[in-house]
Amino acid sequence: MSPSNHHNRRNHRQPPPILARSSKYRTICDLPVELLCMIISHVKSDTWTIRTCTLVCHCLRAVSLEHHFRNALSVRDIDAFDHLFSFLRANPKICEKTGSIRLSGATRKVGKHGYAPLTSIDDNTVLELTQLLPNLTALRLGCFVYIPPQLSAPRRNPDAEQDPPAPFRLEQLSFGSTTTSSSKESSISGLFRILSMFDVDSLYGEPTGWDINAPIPSDISSLHRPLRTKKLRLWKSCLDDSKFIAMLLEAFTKSLEPGYLQDLEVECSTISEVSAIGQLLARVGQGLTSLQVSGKSPPSASMRDGWKDPMDSHWESLNLASCPRLESININIYFRASGDEKQPTDHPALSLAGAGMLSQASGTLRKIAIWLHDLPRITTLNNRRLLRLQAFDRMITQDRFPLLEEVKLRISVHYDLRRKPSYDWQKVVLGTQKALRGLHSRGLLEVTGW
């Protein structure tokens, strides 16, 4: 090879290849939509991959979104609902697949640890949401300002059917938040007007942090229809909402359809709340088959110093005779300290309230569950002054409850007892069987830990 030829080869630059589409490189997005959908369907179980595809480009986002959300949507910090509704209208496949949605409005910080809602919601907003999500089965409403019915905005669709809208069927509906307090503009009437739009299997409420000076007294005439739910659960995460809880129970007493409720779980922290629960049972207890009413206790025995269970002295206010079809009941017993000698002595034996409730109960009972919280010592099981489990043995007789199938005693053992080298769970079981000889001999007693 001559030097000149070598020099020419070294300095010669080959022209780039001519592409069929010189202005645009071919990508996966050039494939037909049908093929893209098939490709995405092969990775739809990989959450990370699907989420990544939704962020790549508009093309991949369009075919990936319905797999990303699957059958559940969660929307937080909502300032206004316009953007959410626009998104749902633009994605009908997501609307068809969505069975559960969780909504929570924007908040502002209040104090060191609290938050107050800023976003308003009313029944017309919820109605539009249900129209967009025809297969919805579960709705979770977090922190919102519930607008009074007289201040609700008009429906966006002027041709929409006027009140009342047809009831929407839900398996589960829940409201409230454990971390926020309500706004002064929030209305119990506005909340209940939304609840009255649905026929619900399970209605859960976390009525915590509501400003006790805020709620406008409930106006039952503003409901679309009486509330219809098979299960109602009202759980509290703190002890300082007594005024609002009593108002909420009163609102449920006025608005629930009698004979429809089957299962009730509620916590109470004051005497007035126990009385309010009794009034609720008097109105809707005819169809009730399962009941759990318990005092709202601090989470551990060491925090119960000075705490009094309102059920200890006011269980009579429940008047369980108004529940003639009751089949299952849960009774909670709380120890106040880590040792027998530390337990307060200014209240009756801990089992007497539960035994008293059973004295009011119907003979239709089939299942009784007794929850014993923070057992301090094994010998406490036979302590007649402090616990007196024997009261249950005398109350639960064949003549009184002929249909009874089981009595479950669920015991949580205090940490100080569990860590002792001599601790043996079997001794707890034997101690319980000794205290409840009658139930044990009849083969009804089951002792479990939790």
pLDDT digits (tens, 9 = 90+) for 241-295: 566 778 888 889 999 999 899 999 998 888 989 999 999 999 999 999 999 999 8
What is the distance between the alpha carbons of residues 169 and 199, in angstroms, rounded to a whole number? 5
How far is CA 287 from its chain centroid? 22
Helix axes 242-255, 188-195, angle to 10 degrees: 40
Q: Is the pLDDT of residue 347 over 80?
A: no
Calculate what percentage of the chain has a pLDDT beyond 90.
49
Helix axes 47-56, 58-69, angle to 10 degrees: 150
pTM of the model: 0.82
What is the distance between the alpha carbons of residues 391 and 408, in angstroms, rounded to a whole number? 15
Q: DSSP letters of 242-291?
A: HHHHHHHHHHHHHHBPTTT--EEEEEE-SHHHHHHHHHHHHHHGGG--EE
Q: Would you state the pLDDT for residue 17?
A: 43
**Other CB atoms within 10 A of residue 93 CB:** 13
Mean pLDDT to the nearest integer, 33-43: 79
Q: Would you state the pLDDT for residue 33?
A: 77
| Confidence at 37, pLDDT banded by 50, 70, 90 | confident
Strand partners, 72: 100
Asked whether 103 and 142 are in contact (CB, 8 A), the reply is yes
Mean pLDDT to the nearest integer, 134-160: 78
H/E stretch holding 176 reads strand 168-176
Asked whether 146 and 194 are in contact (CB, 8 A), the reply is yes
Distances (CA, A) of 325 to 21, 148, 192, 262: 77, 37, 27, 9
Mean pLDDT to the nearest integer, 145-158: 71
Domain positions in the chain are 27-70, 71-257, 289-450
How far is CA 25 from its chain centroid? 52
How far is CA 191 from its chain centroid? 16
At residue 370, what is the residue type? I
| Confidence at 7, pLDDT banded by 50, 70, 90 | very low
Q: Would you state the pLDDT for residue 46?
A: 77
